[in-house]
Amino acid sequence: MMSYEFLVASAIGVLVAGGIFLALRARTFQVVLGLTLFSYAVNLFLFASGRLVIGRPPIWDAVKGGAVTEYTDPLPQALVLTAIVITFGMTAFVVILALRSFLETGSDHVDGDTVPCDAQDGLAKADDGEDTRA
Amino acid sequence: MTFADHLPILPVMIPALAAPLALLAMRRRPALGIAISLVSCLALFGCALALMASVSDGTIHAYAVGDWPAPFGIVLVADRLAAMMLVLTATLALLALLHAIVTRADRKGWHFHPLFQFQLMGLNGAFLTGDLFNLFVFFEVLLIASYGLMLHGQGPARLKAGVQYVVVNLVGSSLFLIALGMLYALTGTLNMADMGLRVAAVAPQDQGLLRIAGLLLVSVFALKAAVAPLHLWLPRTYAVSTPAVAALFAIMTKVGVYSLIRVVPQVFGDGAGAAAWVPAPYLFPAAMVSAVIGFAGVFGARSLSEQAAYSVIGSTGTLLIAVAGWTPESLGAALYYLVHSTLAAAALFLVADVTARRRGAFADTASPGTAFTGRGGVALLFMAAAIAATGLPPLSGFIGKLMILKSVAALPDWGWAWGVILATTFIGVVGFARVGSAVFWKSTEDCEAPAAPASRRDLAAPVMALALLAALSAGAGWAGAYANAAAAQVLDPAQSAAAVLTEGAR
């Protein structure tokens, strides 16, 4: 049966897999995308660390005398908000840095090799149209 | 509440206020911006000393930020270890700032001083906080500032290394968050002291998760501390940074070591049940490997700044060999060596810069260049810094290594530890001698690359760093006793838990 937990867990898993695959690529744009996907997965994971609860208030309802189990944990939501803000800023920074590095060194390789962009293997064919702009 | 009660928040507040003020002032009146930065560093130094005096009797100050009671709000915890790190940070900051101002390295970009202050804010916050998520936030503050500082001065080499540095740290931050999420899901708290009490109650079927969370957290700290095999980001980053910045970065790896020392005994200590001391078996071999790699790098370095960067890895490895014993004696020795190795690494970076400024086009490459005036003096400085970094007498590295050797002698694997520490010391000595003789003894008659004359003022910061090392050596009795007391306090989590959870809940 496809439960809510399974859905969230598999979504996190797919995001992590995609993120790690892209983060291990050689060129900065793919690495940045990979890091972004990975950070989405991390945010979802943090959110789930307060347990997945549906239709409950984020505070304990003292008037109705609800048990402590009948609320959704508000803290992970605050944590996720912090994490989102930080990763958003970081992503913006790394995009600018990667662009600046590309413009100044003439290479968008993460390892710093100065490979001319139109002489790159494999992927060069796939996105040839964009690479020749340099 | 009196003013003294607010002392723990000041090391975070002062740079947080100084940074925007310096940013505003730099555009119109650079001198004013520099003055703000300098005054802030001096004030930080004063605060750190006051805090150290107030905790030296063994009290633990818990400061509830916003007066929210302890397990729910964020607490800042000032104990002996935190105060020691604050004093070290402030000292190092003064040295680095002095060198940057004297060599005018701070004028190569607009934002050196604001970034420098934000860096200090992150460092001080990371040393003070008693909350794991807050530790993450302060890590990010110091990292963001360090990205800016590392790229200060720009140029292709810095940008290339900068991309790698940023990417590695972004991955590290993500792993940190995963570890925090797991720990929160298992224990329901983020306060370190509270978590230390609750890990014992984690259900048996969740022990595997707890172990994974612990190991993940320790891996992140190991990445920050540049422990092998997670050290690969460091040499290039530090070697291409502006030297004054690299000198400040000497404490950045120590933040990772500090976090290890803080979190492992508190959360994964004796009270953690099946997850007790979960990182211990991995830390010792990793520390030995990084000591070997670091000093091998010192041996094979192609430039003085690269050599200094590798010596950071090597000294962190030596330090962690002692930390991995987790006894009060070995941890005390490690803390003494931590202070020493931070200052020694900073001295090496500063001497490398002094040399590079005088050698013109040869910069600080480990090859014979043109002879420059005052070469003997600079050579002496290099020798003193090399003596400190390898741990030969009379500077404090010798005492630090002696304390480490003595303290690990009681451990089961002492043979390995002794072998690695003594062998790496020898390799380090040979490496520094090789580079030193190439740079300072030999010379080529190359009229194409004349030596660059430089005023002697830039010798001030390295001389002061070496004088501090001599002072640390002379005051080793007091410093060693303080380090041992700090180690004993860290290894007694019940004491700090009591202080945080009762005092913070006032």
Interface contact A90-B133, CB threshold 8 A: no
In the predicted structure, residue A126 carries a pLDDT above the cut 80 = no
Q: Is the pLDDT of residue A125 over 60?
A: no
Do residues A69 and A42 lie in contact, with contact meaning Cβ atoms separated by under 8 Å?
no
> Vertex A19, ends A13 and A20: CA angle to 5°?
90
Tell me the nearest-neighbour CA distance from A1 into chain B, angstroms. Answer: 23
Beta-bridge mates of residue B369? B443
The full 3-state SS of B355-420, as one line of letters, equals: HHHHCHHHCCECCCECCCCCHHHHHHHHHHHHHHHHCCCCCHHHHHHHHHHHHHCCCCCHHHHHHH
CB contact under 8 A, A101 and B159: yes
Cβ–Cβ contact A94 with B under 8 A: yes
Q: Residue A36: what pLDDT?
A: 93
- A79:B133 CB<8 A: yes
Put simply, the answer to whether A45 touches B184 (Cβ < 8 Å) is: no
Tell me whether strands B75-78 and B61-64 are parallel, antiparallel or unpaired: antiparallel
Q: What percent of chain A has pLDDT over 90?
A: 43
What is the least distance, in Å, from the CA of A119 to any CA of chain B? 20
- Span B228-244, mean pLDDT? 90
Contacts of A112 in chain B (CB under 8 A): 160-161, 163-164
Q: Please provide the distance, in angstroms rounded to a whole number, between the alpha carbons at the two ends of chain B.
A: 12
- Out of A28, A46, A104, closest to residue B181 by CB: A46
Indicate the SS3 state at residue B312: helix
* Reported ipTM: 0.86
Q: Which positions in chain A touch B178 (Cβ < 8 Å)?
A: 42, 45
DSSP tag of B501: I
What is the average pLDDT across B121-148? 94
Residue A46, chain B, CB below 8 Å: the answer is yes
Average pLDDT over residues B337-348: 95
Q: A18: which 2 tokens? A: 């995609």
Q: Cα-flanking dihedrals φ and ψ of residue B365, to 5°?
A: -65, 150
pLDDT of the residue at A132: 43
Residues A66-98 have pLDDT tens digits of 566 677 888 888 899 999 999 899 999 999 999
Q: Does A36 reach chain B within 8 Å, measured CB to CB? A: no
Confidence of residue A133 (pLDDT cuts 50, 70, 90): very low
The b-or-e profile of A116-133 (16+ CB within 10 A means b, else e) is ebeebeeeeeeeeeebee
Q: State the pLDDT at residue A62.
A: 67
Q: What is the pLDDT of residue A123?
A: 47
Query: Best of B158, B170, B180, B189 to disrupt the A interface by mutation (most A CBs within 10 Å)?
Result: B170
Q: How many CB atoms lie within 10 A of CB B276?
A: 15
Q: Which residues of B touch A79 (CB under 8 A)?
A: 133, 180-181, 184
Higher pLDDT, B493 or B479: B479
User: For chain B, what is the mean pLDDT?
Assistant: 90
Residue B346 has pLDDT above 80, yes or no: yes
CA separation for the pair A55, A71 (Å, rounded) = 9
| Pairs of CB atoms within 8 A across A/B | 89
pLDDT tops 70 at residue A128: no
User: Which pLDDT score, from 0 to 100, does residue B450 have?
Assistant: 65
Query: Is the backbone peptide bond immediately before B393 cis, with ω within 30 degrees of 0?
Result: no
**Arithmetic mean of pLDDT, B190-208:** 89
pLDDT in the model for residue A114: 63
Q: Which of A23, A45, A93 sits opposite B171 (nearest CB)?
A: A23
- % of residues, chain B, pLDDT over 70: 97
pLDDT tens digits for range B40-66: 999 999 999 999 999 998 889 889 888
From chain B, the residues in CB contact with A111 under 8 A are: 164
CB A40 within 8 A of CB A15: yes
Q: How confident is the model at residue B451 (pLDDT cuts 50, 70, 90)?
A: low
Q: Cα separation of B397 and B209, whole Å?
A: 40
B132, B135, B159: which to substitute to probe chain A, counting the most A Cβ within 10 Å? B159
Return the sign of the alpha-carbon dihedral for residues A15, A16, A22, A28.
Answer: positive
Cα(A49)–Cα(A52) distance, integer angstroms: 8
Q: For A45, which of B137, B162, B181 is closest by C-beta distance?
A: B181
Question: End-to-end CA distance of chain A, in Å?
Answer: 52
- Of the pLDDT bands very low, low, confident and very high (cuts 50, 70, 90), residue B290 is very high
Q: Does A98 touch chain B (CB under 8 A)?
A: yes
B185 and A28: CB-CB below 8 Å?
Answer: no
Which pLDDT belongs to residue B367?
A: 82
B178 to A51: CB separation less than 8 angstroms, yes or no: no
